[in-house]
């Protein structure tokens, strides 16, 4: 934080860097990059930028206006811990080369605008974010789609489906469905790999809090980062995904943040903890409130609940996301809030009575999202709740999955599909455009792309349909 271009150039020299890698996220949250030799790495790179073809990046420019430029953020510099050639990595902002203004579809710009809008409201100085991005580490993955076939296959040495496999020898200790949470070695086969992930992150300056095996069999894991401000946490989450995948590959394994790669067991969520601060004061804390929540926190929750159906278009943005958002797998589908309650879509953690720890956990997001957009959208919904004093109603301190039918009907539900979430975003997006944080253009492009994605699966027969219907 606070590094200057000259600091970064000096860092490159002291670390023996030979290549500088410039990275940025496309509209959908996948890292893109280009590399320059260190001999070309001068302060002019931070002033003039480096050009690229924006028409070849998903969700960016049309071909007749393709030129864009990358300008590195010096505060993001780190030496890549995996590449054989010493390489310095910088996360970049995207600019229009004609106007020299920020590019409106750059998701990092949207995150930065969200932070500025929060400050402009006078509500708070900053927001803190703590996403819990779950992932699977598999030993094998194969998939293919063609006109006459469609299949996927994933495998893990700890998957319960391999309890009877000839492994010469099979040593057992396979994890049963839904019994992986906090399990210890030898059943947890990934302890050293997760430790390597955590230590690699800390080596490049990203503080971690904990790692552990997650609920599902077959290698589900979690590595939690220390909370940070919105844009910086989105940067860190991009780095986390990179480190997880690269460490897995180093061990001849493969990692995925896909929300639901296995049937019959938990999927990958990204429960997102969030709070608002003014100076050193946590504005979400009030010792007299329900679960020690302040009125500001309750209004923030009201905004999240009101706009949750639209938020899912950014927070659970894939077709596969809705394989996860089904009752019974710790993926909440009912719009309610509650302390300690993991069946509600908003949980208030009560591990600590400390004012600094008070936060709101929004549970529907998953790690397929673009964190710059998802965090920004959640913040804008919360701000809308505060500005309009949206009352979230009474908490629901029950197991929502087990509610009697007549009670369940009274609790609103999340959209059941990507198509429904996109329709909700189309109907409810004015709150995102306050302060020009999300523009009409960004929302239009997002809806168009995601609607096409939702339609793309319709012509393909599902393999399970052959199981159900081949003999009709």
- Encode pLDDT of 421-452 as tens digits: 999 999 999 999 999 999 999 999 999 999 99
DSSP 3-state of 225: strand
pLDDT for 353 = 85
In this structure, are 410 and 324 located in the same domain? yes
pLDDT of 345 over the 80 cut? yes
pTM attached to this predicted model? 0.96
- Output the pLDDT for position 62: 83
129 in the same domain as 49:
no
Candidates 33, 212, 226, 342; catalytic one = 342
pLDDT value of residue 23: 98
What pLDDT does residue 350 have?
86
Residues 60 and 185 in one domain: no
Other beta carbons within 10 angstroms of residue 359's beta carbon come to 22
| pLDDT score recorded for residue 402 | 81
Q: 214 an active-site residue?
A: yes
- Model confidence at 370, in pLDDT bands (50, 70, 90)? very high
Q: Is the pLDDT of residue 400 over 60?
A: yes
Provide the mean pLDDT of the chain: 95
pLDDT above 70 coverage of the chain, percent: 99
125 and 93, same domain (yes or no): no
Q: Which of 93, 106, 188, 222 is catalytic?
A: 222
Look up 15 and say whether it is catalytic: no
Is 101 part of the annotated catalytic residue set?
no
Same domain, 398 and 272: yes
Asked about 176 being catalytic, the answer comes back as: no
| CA 325 to each of CA 259, 270, 321, 376: distance values in angstroms, whole numbers, following the listed order | 9, 12, 7, 21
Residue 2: pLDDT over 80 = no
Q: What confidence tens digit (pLDDT) does each residue in 260-313 have?
A: 999 999 999 999 999 999 999 999 999 999 999 999 999 999 999 999 999 999
Structure-token pair, residue 214? 């997650």
Q: Is 62 a catalytic residue?
A: no
Q: Find the CATH number of the domain harbouring 185.
A: 3.30.590.10
- Is 109 contained in some domain? no
Is 43 part of the annotated catalytic residue set? no
Instruction: Let me know if 384 is a catalytic residue.
Output: no
Query: What pLDDT score was predicted for residue 328?
Result: 67
Would you mind telling me the total number of residues written for the chain in this entry?
Answer: 472
Count of domains observed in the chain: 2
Residue among 428, 436, 312, 438 at smallest CA distance from 376: 438
Distance CA(127)–CA(48), nearest Å, equals 31
* Residues 46 and 82 reside in one and the same domain: yes
In sequence order, the 6+-apart residues with CB closer than 8 A to the CB of 284 are 275, 276, 293, 294, 296, 297, 300, 358, 359, 360
Q: What is the pLDDT of residue 216?
A: 96
- CA–CA distance, 343 with 398 (Å, rounded to integer): 8
What's the pLDDT tens digit per position in 148-196? 999 999 999 999 999 999 999 999 999 999 999 999 999 999 999 999 9
Q: Which among 214, 228, 235, 286 is annotated as catalytic?
A: 214
CATH of the domain at 65: 3.10.20.70
Residue 116 lies in a domain: no
- Do 202 and 249 belong together in one domain? yes
pLDDT at 128 over 70: yes
Q: Is the pLDDT of residue 364 over 70?
A: yes
Give mean pLDDT, residues 6-34.
97
pLDDT at res. 205: 96
- Shared domain for 79 and 138, answered yes or no, is no
pLDDT at 63 exceeding the cut of 80: no
Concerning whether 363 is annotated as a catalytic residue, the answer is: yes
Structural domain of residue 42, as residue ranges?
5-103
């Amino acid at each position: 934080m606070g590094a200057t271009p000259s600091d970064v150039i000096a860092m490159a020299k002291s670390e023996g860097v030979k290549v500088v890698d410039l990275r940025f996220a496309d509209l959908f949250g996948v890292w893109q990059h280009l590399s320059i030799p260190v001999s070309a790495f001068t302060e002019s790179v931070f002033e003039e930028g480096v050009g690229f073809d924006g028409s070849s990046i998903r969700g960016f420019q049309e071909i007749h206006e393709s030129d864009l430029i990358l300008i590195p953020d010096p505060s993001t510099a780190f030496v890549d811990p995996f590449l054989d050639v010493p390489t310095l990595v910088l996360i970049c902002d995207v600019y229009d080369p004609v106007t020299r203004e920020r590019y409106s579809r750059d998701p990092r710009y949207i995150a930065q605008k969200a932070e500025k809008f929060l400050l402009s409201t006078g509500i708070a100085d900053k927001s803190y974010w703590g996403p819990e991005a779950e992932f699977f580490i598999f030993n094998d993955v194969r998939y293919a789609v063609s006109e006459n076939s469609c299949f996927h296959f994933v495998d893990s040495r700890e998957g319960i489906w391999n309890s009877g496999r000839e492994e010469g020898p099979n040593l057992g200790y396979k994890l049963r469905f839904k019994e992986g949470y906090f399990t210890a070695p030898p059943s947890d086969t990934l302890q050293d790999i997760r430790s390597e992930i955590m230590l690699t992150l800390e080596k490049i300056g990203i503080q971690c809090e904990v790692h552990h095996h997650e609920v599902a069999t077959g290698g589900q894991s979690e590595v939690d980062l220390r909370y940070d401000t919105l844009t910086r946490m989105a940067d860190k989450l991009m780095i986390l995904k990179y480190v997880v995948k690269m460490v897995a590959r180093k061990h001849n394994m493969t990692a995925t943040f896909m929300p639901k790669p296995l049937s019959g067991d938990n999927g990958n969520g990204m429960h997102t903890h969030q709070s608002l601060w003014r100076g050193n004061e946590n504005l979400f804390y009030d010792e007299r409130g329900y679960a020690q929540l302040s009125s500001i926190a309750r209004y923030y929750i009201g905004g999240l609940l009101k706009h949750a159906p639209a938020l899912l278009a950014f927070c659970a943005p894939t077709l596969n996301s809705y394989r996860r958002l089904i009752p019974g797998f710790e993926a909440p589908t009912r719009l309610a809030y509650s302390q300690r309650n993991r069946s509600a879509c908003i949980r208030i953690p009560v591990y600590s009575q400390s004012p600094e720890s008070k936060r709101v956990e929004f549970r529907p997001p998953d790690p397929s999202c673009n964190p710059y957009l998802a965090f920004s959208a959640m913040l804008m919904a919360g701000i809308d709740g505060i500005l309009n004093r949206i009352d979230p109603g009474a908490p629901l301190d029950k197991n929502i999955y087990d509610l009697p039918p007549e009670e369940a009907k009274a609790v609103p539900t999340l959209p059941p599909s990507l198509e429904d979430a996109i329709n909700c975003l189309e109907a409810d997006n004015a709150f995102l455009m306050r302060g020009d944080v999300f523009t009409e253009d960004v929302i239009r492009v997002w809806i168009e792309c995601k609607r096409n994605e939702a339609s793309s699966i319709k012509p393909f027969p599902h393999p399970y349909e052959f199981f159900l219907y081949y003999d009709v």
